[in-house]
Chains A and B, each alone.
Chain A
Amino acid sequence: MLIKKTDDIASSEITPERDYLNRRNFIRGGLLAGTAAATTLLYRRLAVPAGSSRPVTGSSSTGPTSNLTTDQGESSTSFEDITNYNNFYEFSTSKEGVAARARNFVTRPWTVEVTGLVKRPRVFDLEELLRLGVEERLYRFRCVEAWSMVIPWLGIPLARLIDQVEPLGNASFVAFQTLFDPQRMPNQRTSVLDWPYVEGLRLDEARHPLTLLSTGLYGQPLLPQNGAPIRLVVPWKYGFKSIKSIVRIELTDRQPKTTWGDYAPDEYGFYSNVNPDVAHPRWSQARERRIGEWVMRDTLPFNGYAEQVASLYQGMDLRRYY
């Protein structure tokens, strides 16, 4: 108490100390607010959930809808989810980041060269391909990362295109190639994968009626993040088989090289048929997370298309040819 009294009197001496304390408190307050703001900003920049980077366009929740249901009564995953959660390493290795980085990808003019062991090799303009007849198909789509969607594709049965070029008798495989253009696909400047992305099918798989060259979804042309302007869709195989933004198709007599198969042969086989009994070293494939559902569901052999496609693999050991 005595000290306090002395302090009160000697106000000329306490003022500088108060100033000092005030200044220190001011700096501390600034530090606290400043770092908190920086942390928040950094967090918001780095931990971006899918869809939050899309441009605000009027009403965001009323995307296109589809009335189709699959053979198992499933309805489509939302347009927003399909177009904001994509594996497309040519643009970004983050599924949430692809849509924004692919937004300005120019897809016209676009041609697809169809060549190799065929009687009539040809370069098709996209418009010519569209004239082959576009159909709508609602397919389950199963990613090797153990998530899945249901997607209303628009597309041309690949068999129709293959018929146009008349395969030779010794053609037994089909090789596909994505565009290579680091100017337009910025992540091709990195060596994350061995560009250009390539994939392949056996000819009978390619000609199967379920196999589609897709040009759109939800009744609209494909957006860049989904593989515009034209991509493969093989619904009974893991998603990475369904190569995007195709510029070249070649019929061959040898099993083609595939990008992921080259990257990690023991993880990504040539066939990569959806198979709950063959685990990937990183993901058990027994179950999958259907986008929009909370609890995981069981994965079906051939992604539920066994009835249509199992005969393609009769007599093959699917553990060996995974």
Chain B
Amino acid sequence: MFTRQRPDPSLFPRLLFFVNAALPALLLGWDSFNGRLGTNPQEYLIRTTGMLTLILMTATLTISPLVKITRSPALLPMMKVRRMAGLFTFFYAALHALSYSWFDKELDVRLIVADLLRRPFIFLGMFAFILLVPLAITSTKRMVRRLGGRRWNLLHRLVYLSAIAASVHYYLLVRADKLLPLAFATTLFLLLLWRGRDWSRRIGQP
């Protein structure tokens, strides 16, 4: 029955985000199931999950600048989407790292470590991924309370370091035609710039 209690305004944005962020994984799973991954399925899986990670990561970092710059009350519930967005980023990054470790290195730790030390782009990718792990672990409400908002916020600034590493990772691995990696790096740079200004302004406040 209908009650007058207002439902959580972030419920619908979260549903919307969930559906759209989960769809690529479902489509990828569907294509895998049907063997429709093209000539080099292993490469296709590594690349698609890598690209999805970067897209999700960029989307996650865009939310709060978007809400704050537009100051639109209609967009305010989007702030509550960030946790889920971050977790999706982590989910795709884990799929990506697993695809690489499995398909390129047959889960052989020695091969992976050798590659890490030898190839800067692999090192940066792994670095970007490992930074996301503590953020995913501390994403629950309980962890926010346990850490305290301030410390939690500081910790979660690591996402910017992760994003920088991920952009360079992408830039280094493209053979030629660096347009798309540069576009991502520029977007990220602008987001970081805005963030930096936001932080310094808040520090200036009493």
List chain A positions with a Cβ less than 8 A from chain B.
Answer: 3-4, 7, 28, 31-32, 35-36, 39-40, 43-44, 46-52, 80-81, 84-85, 89, 93, 95-96, 145, 147, 190, 192-193, 263, 279, 281-282, 284, 289, 291, 294-296
Contact = CB atoms under 8 A, between A and B. Distances in A.
B194 interface: no
B198 interface: no
Contact of B40 (A3, A284, A289): A289
A32 B172 CA distance: 37
Closest 3 CB pairs of A and B: A49-B38, A50-B38, A85-B39
What is the size category of the interface that chain B forms with chain A?
A: 35 or more
Contacts of B37: 49
Given A93-B177, A295-B106, A49 B44 contact: yes
Contacts, number: 88
B51 A284 contact: no
B40 A50 contact: yes
Of B36, B39, B44, B51, most A-chain CB atoms within 10 Å: B39
A202 to B, nearest CB: 25
Nearest to A293: B42
A35 B27 CA distance: 15
B16 A85 contact: no
Given A93-B177, A284-B115, A284-B118, A50 B19 contact: no
A279 B15 CA distance: 47
Given A93-B177, A295-B106, A39 B24 contact: yes
Contacts of B104: 296
A190 B37 CA distance: 29
A101 to B, nearest CB: 14
Contacts of B15: 32
A36 B23 contact: yes
Given A32-B15, A190-B177, A47 B51 contact: yes
A282 B119 contact: yes
A49 B43 contact: no
The dominant DSSP class at the A interface is loop
Interface in B25-39: 27-28, 31, 36-39
A4 B1 contact: yes
A47 B173 CA distance: 18
Contact of A192 (B16, B119, B121, B176): B176
B123 to A, nearest CB: 12
B106 A49 contact: no
14 contacts: A32-B19, A35-B20, A40-B23, A40-B27, A43-B27, A47-B24, A50-B38, A84-B39, A96-B39, A147-B43, A289-B40, A289-B43, A291-B39, A296-B106
A281 B122 CA distance: 11
A35 B19 contact: yes
Contacts of B173: 282
Contacts of A282: 119, 121, 172-173, 175
A28 B12 contact: yes
B138 interface: no
Interface in B149-196: 172-173, 175-177
Given A3-B4, A95-B39, 4 more contacts: A39-B23, A40-B27, A47-B48, A296-B104
Contacts of B176: 89, 93, 192-193, 263
Contacts of B119: 281-282
B107 to A, nearest CB: 12
Contacts of B172: 282
